[in-house]
Amino acid sequence: MANSLIEQILAGVLSNATLGRGQSGAESPSLDGGSSGGLGDLLGGILGGGRAPAGTPTERSSPFGGGGGALLAMLLPLAMQWVQRNGGLGAVLGKFQQKGYSQQAASWVSTGENEALPQQAIDDVVGLDELSRLSQQLGVPQQEVADGFAQILPEVVHQLTPQGEVAGNADDVLTEGMSELETLLRRLDAR
């Protein structure tokens, strides 16, 4: 299940990156079989260590310039850790609601389309100090980190709430997915 979760999050984020934030209409690449090798091929293609499945956006199509897909892949585990450090999925949704982004947060949980966040939302909820720390850690501009979080967080919530509600095991699924993603990234890094 966790591999599926991570694949769905990355496919959704990368699909949206080619369309622009908050737009929809493109099919997500197939990541669970067929000619694709699944998550390993997807991440390998993004990070330059393998082939990406057919139809998967590459770094050239990203709004982040040359390394956008790689940046999103690097940000995913950091965003998932941020959710965990901030009390889990329910608490993070509460933070967005408290800061005035209830409508957007509700759309991520619903079974419909995710509403995009205003540019200020990530600064308000994640915080400038955290964004600055991540920017320094990754060696990229702070705005790129904020833009990446604005794409990743809605998709993480959306994939953890497939029935339109926050399930009791959502944080366990997040933890399991994060563990599997970190394992896979270590294997790709060792190549």
Distance CA 68, CA 138 (A): 12
3-state secondary structure (DSSP) of residue 16: helix
Can you give the pLDDT at residue 55? 38
3-state secondary structure (DSSP) of residue 78: helix
Distance CA 154, CA 107 (A): 9
Distance CA 173, CA 179 (A): 10
What is the chain's pLDDT, residue by residue, as a tens digit (191 residues)?
Answer: 455 677 777 677 766 654 443 333 333 333 333 333 444 554 544 444 433 333 333 332 333 344 467 788 788 889 999 999 999 999 999 999 999 999 999 999 998 899 999 889 999 999 999 999 999 999 999 999 999 999 999 988 998 888 899 888 888 888 888 888 778 777 777 77
Domain limits of the chain?
2-190
Distance CA 151, CA 61 (A): 15
3-state secondary structure (DSSP) of residue 96: helix
Instruction: With beta carbons less than 8 A apart as the criterion, state whether 34 and 7 touch.
Output: no
Which among 100, 95, 98, 74 has a CA at the least distance from the CA of 157?
95
Homologous superfamily of 2-190 in CATH?
A: YidB-like (1.10.10.690)
